[in-house]
Structure 1
Amino acid sequence: MAESTDPNPAAPVPGLPERILLGAAYYTEYQPYERLEADLDLMAAGGFGVIRVGESVWSTWEPRDGVFDLDWLQPVLDGAHARGIAVVVGTPTYAVPPWLRKTYPETTAHSATGVEIPYGMRQDVDYSHPTFRYLAERVVRKIVGRYADHPAVIGWQVDNEPGHKIFYNPQVFAGFVEHLKDTYGTVDELNRRWGLTYWSHRIADWSELWTPDGNSTPSYDLAWRRYQATLGHDLIRWQTDLVRSLVPADQFVTTCIALGQQGQDITVIGEPLDVAGANLYYATQDGLELPGAQGLEGGLASFFVPWSGPAYLSLQADTARGTRQAPFLVTETNATSIGGTADNFPAYDGQWRQTAWHMVARGARLLNYWHWHTLHYGAETYWGGILGHSLEPGRTYAELSRVANELTAATDALAGLEPVSDVGVLVGAESRWAMECMGPLAGPAHSWMGDPGSYDRILAAFYRGLFDAGLAADIVSPGQLADVGPGLPDDAAAAALVARWRVLVVPGLYIADDATLDLLRRYAEAGGHLVLTPRTGYADADAVVRSTVAPGVLRGAAGVHYLEYTNLVHPVPVTGAGWTGAGTAWADGLLVDDAEVLAGYDHPHLGQFAAVTTRVAGAGRVTTVGTVPDRELAGHLARYLARTSLPVDPWRDARPETVTVTAAVNAAGERLRFVHNWSWEPATYRLPAAVRDVLDDVALAAGELLALGPWDVRVLRETP
C-alpha cells in the first residue's frame, strides 16, 4: 500500500499567493529612528514577500479609552504595496494598554482564586469577560474597517498565541460550574463519575463545588482543563467570525498558535480559521546535528524547546499541519537567537536554508520570521531578528534572501504541494493534560504527581524513532479519526483509516473513551498496524482508571495483558534477535496471551515480562511496546514497522546517518524529494531514481552520487 497523502487536498486559501512567501514580523513602531523606506527597500532587494504587522500595540491603536489613532500604519502598507510586499495585519487583543487595566479592573486575569496577575507583561486579561469582549470588538472593528480594503493586505491574524494562561476569575469558575451542570446533569452523576466519595469530596449541591486551587481529584482537573480550552477556542472563533464579516472574501483569517499552550487544544482551535498559523522554534547550531545527542535534552535553545535535533522541528511542523489536516502558515520561526539574554545561538551557515525547506516539505505555505529587527528595549531585547541591533544586514539577511529567491524560482514545482507521510501518530490533548496533573514518569525533581512533561516525553521518544528511521508522520487527534470516514458504517470507517495510514502509532493515549478504543481495534482488524504504548487507554474520558485488565478492550487484539508496572530508575537493556537499545522511565509487566515476543528485558526481575510484542489481528497487526524506548530501541521499532507494513522505499533505506529524505507531491502529481545533510561533514547519497534539481535545473541519473555540503539541502523532482 502506498504512503499516506491527504485524499481530500486542502482547498486554496483565500488571499494566499501561489508562490510561497518568506518574510518577517515588522514593527516600524519599535524602530529607534525613522527607517521605514530603508527597511522596505532592504526587504524588496532581498526577495522578502510578506510582513506581519500591528498585533502587539493596542496602546498605539487606542492610546486612550475610545480615542483611536489608525493612520500610523498607512505608510507601512502603502510602502509595502509599492514594492510588491504582501501584508498580514494582526488584531492587538493579547496585550492590553494600561488604561484598560486601570479603567476596567474587572477584566484582569487571575492566576489563582483571588490573585490578580500584576500588570506589566502580556496576556494578563480574562478574554472571556464581556467587558473585554466589548473593548476588543471596538478596536478590532476600527482597525479592520480602516484597512480591510487596502490592496497590500492578504490576510488577518486574530489575537496572538491564544491559550497562554489558565484563568481563575470568579466569573470563569461560575461558568465552569454551569458547564458541569450541562455536562453531568446532577450532582449525583458528578459524584459517581468523578469518584467524589474519596476523601469526603461528595457534594450535595452545586454551590459546594470547591475552587480548583487545592483540587486533588484528577477528573476535576481534566474537566477544568477542558473548560479552559473552550475559553481560548471561543475567543478565536468569535474574533474570526467578527473579522470575516468585515473583510473581502479574498483575504484569509488565521491566528498565531504557540504549540502546547496550556489553555488550548491544537486539534480544535484551528477549526474556524481559513488556515492555521503556528510558531515553529527549534534548537540551532549543534542542536540540529544528526545523529546528534542521544537524549532528548535541548541545550542549545530556550527553555520552551525541550529537545534538540531536526526531529523536533519536524514534529512541530507535522503538529501544525495536523491542526486542520491541511497546509499551514509559519507565523514565527528562528531569525537568529531565540529566548532570553543567555540564549544566544545564531544558526550556522546553511541552517536557515535547511530548516526553511524542511518546513515547506512538511506543509508550510508561508514563512514569517520573528522578527525583522532585533529590539533595543523591552522583555525580548535579546530575541534576535533578521537584522541585529546595528540594523545592518549580515549573515541572516543574506541566507534568508537566498531562500526567498529560491522559493520564488521554484513556484511551479511547489504549487499545491502535499506532504507524503508513512505513518499516523495519534496525539491527544486530553492525555497531555491528564499527565500534567498526574505524570507517570519521574522528573528531575521527584514529585508525588510525577513529571508534568511525561506525555511529551513519551510522544518524543516514539516520534524521534520514526524520524531517525526515515519515516514521515501525520499527527492526528482522536476526534479527527472519525473525520477520515464520516458517515460510513463501522467496518468501512476502519477501512478508510487503514487506507489513510497503514501504520498508526498511539503514544501515551491515557484518556480514551470506549468508542475510540473500539475504533483502534477495528482499525487493526481491518488491516492496519496499530502500535500501543505505555498508558494507552488506561483511563476513561473522565480520567477514572478502568477496572478491566489492561489494555482493556484491546487485550484480545494485542494478545497481551498486564497487572503491574514499574518506573525505571535506570535504562534497562532489551534482548531479542535484531533488537537492541533499552527501555527507559517505565515498564509495563507485559504477560503474553498469544502474541509473539519481539524483545524482552536483560534484567533478573523484568526478564519475566515482554518489552515489545506483536500479534496478527484480523487482516492487520497490533504491536505493543511496554516501555518508553531509548533512541536506539525506538529506531529498531520504526524499522520493524517499515519492514512489516510499509512498501520498500529505496530513498529511505540507503541514507547515510546524517541525511534525511522527505517526500511531497505537487499539483501536477510530481514527486519531490527534499534531501538534507544535518552535519558539518559533507555527504554523498546514491540516487535511487532519475531526478532533476528544482533549483539549478540539472538532471541527475539513477545511481549517480548526489553531493551534499555541510548543512545542505537539495530539492529534487523525480523524472520518468
Structure 2
Amino acid sequence: MTQPQPNKSYENVRMGVDYYPEHWDEEMWEKDIALMKSSGVAVVRVGEFAWSRMEPRDGEFEFGWLDRALDLFARYGIDVVIGTPTHTPPRWLTAKHPDVLPILPSGAVYQPGVRGHRCFNSRSLRHYGERLIGRLAERYAKHPAVVGWQTDNEFGMLDSQSAQAAEDFRDWVYRKYGTLDNLNREWGTVVWSGEYSEWSEVTPPLGGSPYQNPSFLLDFARFQWETVADFQNGQIAAIRAHCPDHFVTHNFHSYPQRLDLYKVGEALDFASFDYYPNTSPDKAATSPYSGALSLDATRGVKRRNFWIMEQLSGSPGAWMPMWRMPQPGYIRAYVWQAIARGADTVVHFRWRSAHIGAEQFWHGLIDHSNVPGRRLAEFAETSGEVRRLAPLLEGTSPEAQVAILMSHEQLEALRIQKQTDNFDYYENLKEYHRALTKLGIGCDVIDWRQPLDGYRVVVAPHLYLLDDEAAERLSRFAADGGTLLLTARTGVKNLNNVCVMQPLPGLLADCAGVAVREYDPLGRDVVRLDAEDGEQYACSQWADILDPAPGGRTEVLARYGGPVFFAGEAAVTRHAFGHGETYYLGTHPEEEYLRALLLRIAQERGLPHAEGLPAGVQVSVRAGASGAYLFVLNLSRETRRFRLGGAYAEAAGGEGLLGGRRHSGGELELKPYGVEIFRF
C-alpha cells in the first residue's frame, strides 16, 4: 500500500510569525490575529513549549485553549504549524520520572527550570511525549488551520551520561563490533591499558575529558546522532498515524552543530532553520556571509528548499547581552536573502516581545509597549512584496554547479583532537564558501556522502576521516571530468578515528597527484605563499610539504616562501586526472588567494559568476518553470554603487521586480539593506 504523501503547502512562498497564545490573556488573541492578517501573516507556529498547559497533570489533557486559538486562526485564514512540546517536560513528569533529566558529563543533573532538560534515551520521555503527540495529532488531524508539525525544538548534543544512555550506548557498541576483541582492536584500547574485559565496562565518557580514546569519543557522538534521530522518529510515527497529509519538519539552529543534521533530517519532509543574523556593527562585514552558509547548509540537509522557522525580528537578548536593534531595511533584506537561497516560508520570532520569562528581551515585531511600530511596518511591507512575487517564485529553487562537502564526522573528529590552535574545520569551510559567495557563484553545501551528479566543481575541505567508498566516489568524480579541490588534513585516519600508515593524502593520493613528504602545524604563524603568477599571499594553520607525482601531470601553482626550512617547496598543486582535475591545497591560504584560485576555476569551467561585487553585496539565482530570478542584495550598512558584469549583466539591465525601474548596462545603486530582483 502506498503511503499517503504530505500536502505541498510547504512549497508556498509566504511569511509568518511564532505566537504563544498561552502567554497572553485570551482577550488579546483575536486582536493579535486580526493584526497578523492585515500585516501579511500567512502561517504561525504554536505550542512547542506548552506541555504543562496541554497536560497539566499526568493523563489530564486540556486542549480547550488550543482549540479556541486554532479556531481563530482558521477563521482568519492563517495556517498553523504545531510544535511538539518535548523540549520542555513539565515538572510533574520530571518529579515522577527523574530519568527524563539528562546527566551532564560533570555528573550534575540537568535540572528543569530552563529548557532542553530531556534525556533522549529516557523511556519515560518517549512514552509520555509520544502519548501527548498522539493525542494532539488525533485531535487536530482534520482541523482546517493545521498544515504541519515541528518536532521538538532546536535539537542538539547533550552528552547525557544517564543510566539509560549508558545501557543504550553499550548495546549500540555491541551491535557495531560484536565482540570485545573486535572492539579493543578497532578502538586501539591497548593504549593506556584501556582494554575492555567485560561488556559492563563499556560506559559513556564519564567526566567528559577530551583526552580519552578518540575512537571511543567519535563513536559516542555517532551513538547520540542515532539516538536523536530515533527519538524524533517516534514522534513522527505518532504524527503520521493520524496526519499522513501533514508535513513534518524540525528547526535546526546555530551552526556549526555537533549534531549530525543529515542523520536527523532523513525522516523530515524538509528542513527548517532558526536564523538570527548578527546586528552588531562589528559583525556587519562577516554576518551576511556566515548567514549565507547557514542557509545553504540548511538547504543541503534535504537537498531541497526549506523554511525559516524563526527569523530575527528585533534585538536578541536573553542568553547573552542584547544586540543592537536591526536598522531600517534589515528585516526586509534578510527575508529576501533567505528566500534567495531557498527558503519558501519565513516565520519571524516572535510576534510580540515576551513580558514574562527568561526571554523577555529577545524582541519580537512588537515591543513590550504593545504599540505597533517600525519593525512591524517593515514586516508588513515585506509580506506584501513576498505575496506579490509568490506566484512567480513558487516552484523555483537555487541551482548550483558547485558543491562544498560538509561532514559532521570530520567536524567531531577534529573537535576531539584539535590539530593546531588556529585550525577550525567549520571556520575554514566558511572561508571557501565566503570566497565563492563574493564571486557570485551559487553553491550547495551537502553531506560528504551524497551523490555528486550534476556538479562541475566539488570543494572537499579536510577529509580527515576517509574510507574506500568516499575516496572512490571522489576519484570517479574527477576522472569523469569534474574539478575536485582537496585540502590539507585529508586521508589522515580511517572511519574509526585511527591514523592510517600510508603517505598522505592516503586513499586520495593518486587522485591528488601528490604525496605529503612532511608537514608543519603552523598554528597562528603566518608564512608567505608565492603564486605562479608572481603574486604573494599569506597562509597559516598548516603546511603540507608536497612532492608532485612523477609523470608531469601535476603542476605547482604556489610554493612556500620566506624564512622557513621548506621555502620553495610545493604548497598548492593541480593534477590532471582522467578527464578532470584535482587541486590540492597543502595549507590554508588567505581569502584573497582562495578568491583568485576559485575565479580561475570558474573562468576555466564556464561557471556563472560576478567579479567585483562590493563588500556585503550578494547575488543568488532561483529558477523553475516560471523562469530564472536574480536576487541582488546589499547586506551592508552603506550604499553600494556597482556594475553587475559577467553572466548577470544582461539580467540586471532589465526592470527590477521590486523597484520597478530599469538599470542601464547592469549599473546598480542599492541603499543600505537594499534589494532588487530581476527576471531573466
Q: Same fold (TM over 0.5)?
A: yes
- 1:663 positional shift: 1.1
Greater CA deviation, 683-692 or 376-385? 683-692
Counterpart position of 2:673:
711
Counterpart position of 1:583:
539
> What is the TM-score with the length of structure 1 in the denominator?
0.88
Q: 1:512 to 1:90 in 2, by over 3 A?
A: same
Counterpart position of 2:443:
473
Matched, 1:223 2:219: yes
Matched, 1:178 2:168: no
Counterpart position of 2:323:
344
Tell me which of 586, 595, 600 is aligned to 2:559: 600
How far, CA to CA, are the matches of 2:197 and 2:666 in structure 1? Answer: 76
Counterpart position of 1:209:
202
1:252-331 equivalence runs, <5 A: 252-260=247-255, 264-286=259-281, 289=284, 292=285, 308-331=286-309
Q: 1:74 to 1:525 in 2, by over 3 A?
A: same
- 1:660 positional shift: 2.2
How far, CA to CA, are the matches of 1:706 and 1:386 in structure 2? Answer: 31
1:694-705 equivalence runs, <5 A: 694-695=657-658, 698=661, 703-705=665-667
Contact 1:57/1:92 (CA < 8 Å) preserved in 2? Answer: yes
Deviations 1:292-313 (A, max 9, x none): 3xxxxxxxxxxxxxxx331111
Aligned with 2:337: secondary structure? helix
Contact 2:16/2:346 (CA < 8 Å) preserved in 1? Answer: yes
Q: 1:13 to 1:704 in 2, by over 3 A?
A: farther
Counterpart position of 1:487:
none
Aligned with 2:322: secondary structure? coil
How far, CA to CA, are the matches of 2:204 and 2:64 in structure 1? Answer: 46
How far, CA to CA, are the matches of 2:612 and 2:19 in structure 1? Answer: 43
Counterpart position of 1:570:
525
1:116-131 equivalence runs, <5 A: 116-131=109-124
Contact 1:506/1:536 (CA < 8 Å) preserved in 2? Answer: no
- 1:677 positional shift: 1.9
1:621-640 equivalence runs, <5 A: 621-640=581-600
Greater CA deviation, 556-565 or 527-536? 556-565
How far, CA to CA, are the matches of 1:586 and 1:281 in structure 2? Answer: 32
Structure 1, unpaired ranges of 5+: 1-10, 293-307, 444-450, 482-496
- 1:540 positional shift: 0.7
Q: 1:309 to 1:113 in 2, by over 3 A?
A: closer
Contact 1:465/1:637 (CA < 8 Å) preserved in 2? Answer: no
- 1:203 positional shift: 2.0
Tell me which of 412, 426, 445 is aligned to 1:433: 412
- 1:385 positional shift: 0.9
- The letter for the 1-side match of 2:41 is F
Aligned with 2:316: secondary structure? coil
- The letter for the 1-side match of 2:526 is P
Matched, 1:659 2:617: yes
Matched, 1:530 2:480: no
Q: 1:504 to 1:13 in 2, by over 3 A?
A: farther
- The letter for the 1-side match of 2:237 is D
Contact 2:659/2:676 (CA < 8 Å) preserved in 1? Answer: no
How far, CA to CA, are the matches of 1:560 and 1:579 in structure 2? Answer: 23
Tell me which of 381, 386, 392 is aligned to 1:402: 381
Counterpart position of 1:163:
156
Aligned with 2:594: secondary structure? helix
1:508-519 equivalence runs, <5 A: 508-519=462-473
Greater CA deviation, 216-225 or 309-318? 309-318
Tell me which of 403, 407, 428 is aligned to 1:424: 403
- The letter for the 2-side match of 1:425 is I
How far, CA to CA, are the matches of 2:247 and 2:670 in structure 1? Answer: 38
Counterpart position of 1:149:
142
Tell me which of 621, 626, 634 is aligned to 1:677: 634
- The letter for the 2-side match of 1:429 is H
How far, CA to CA, are the matches of 1:188 and 1:603 in structure 2? Answer: 50
How far, CA to CA, are the matches of 1:287 and 1:412 in structure 2? Answer: 38
- The letter for the 1-side match of 2:669 is A
Contact 1:580/1:636 (CA < 8 Å) preserved in 2? Answer: no
Q: 1:704 to 1:478 in 2, by over 3 A?
A: closer
- 1:233 positional shift: 0.6
Counterpart position of 1:393:
372
Deviations 1:166-207 (A, max 9, x none): 211112111111111111121111111111111111222322
- State the Cα RMSD in Å: 2.2
Counterpart position of 1:20:
13
Contact 1:579/1:599 (CA < 8 Å) preserved in 2? Answer: no
Q: 1:579 to 1:387 in 2, by over 3 A?
A: farther
Deviations 1:14-68 (A, max 9, x none): 2516541211110122237842122112211111111100111111111111112
How far, CA to CA, are the matches of 2:523 and 2:221 in structure 1? Answer: 29
- 1:209 positional shift: 2.8
Greater CA deviation, 140-149 or 238-247? 140-149
- The letter for the 2-side match of 1:244 is R
How far, CA to CA, are the matches of 2:257 and 2:158 in structure 1? Answer: 6
Counterpart position of 1:241:
237
Contact 1:113/1:211 (CA < 8 Å) preserved in 2? Answer: no
Aligned with 2:524: secondary structure? coil
Greater CA deviation, 692-701 or 131-140? 692-701
Greater CA deviation, 407-416 or 276-285? 276-285
Aligned with 2:200: secondary structure? helix
How far, CA to CA, are the matches of 2:126 and 2:12 in structure 1? Answer: 36
- The letter for the 2-side match of 1:474 is D
How far, CA to CA, are the matches of 1:224 and 1:464 in structure 2? Answer: 32
Q: Percent identity?
A: 32
Deviations 1:372-404 (A, max 9, x none): 111122222211111112122222111111111
Contact 1:15/1:155 (CA < 8 Å) preserved in 2? Answer: no
- 1:570 positional shift: 2.6
Contact 2:631/2:678 (CA < 8 Å) preserved in 1? Answer: yes
Q: 1:211 to 1:266 in 2, by over 3 A?
A: closer
- 1:657 positional shift: 4.4
Aligned with 1:691: secondary structure? coil
- 1:516 positional shift: 0.3
Aligned with 1:623: secondary structure? strand
How far, CA to CA, are the matches of 2:6 and 2:135 in structure 1? Answer: 25
Aligned with 2:230: secondary structure? helix
- 1:418 positional shift: 1.3
Deviations 1:645-687 (A, max 9, x none): 233x3x613544443221120223x111001123312424353
How far, CA to CA, are the matches of 1:629 and 1:343 in structure 2? Answer: 35
- 1:210 positional shift: 4.7
How far, CA to CA, are the matches of 2:483 and 2:489 in structure 1? Answer: 18
Aligned with 1:115: secondary structure? coil
Q: 1:248 to 1:522 in 2, by over 3 A?
A: closer
Aligned with 1:591: secondary structure? strand
How far, CA to CA, are the matches of 1:261 and 1:122 in structure 2? Answer: 21
> What is the TM-score with the length of structure 2 in the denominator?
0.93
Deviations 1:146-170 (A, max 9, x none): 2222111111112111234221111
- The letter for the 2-side match of 1:411 is A
Matched, 1:46 2:16: no
How far, CA to CA, are the matches of 2:403 and 2:463 in structure 1? Answer: 14
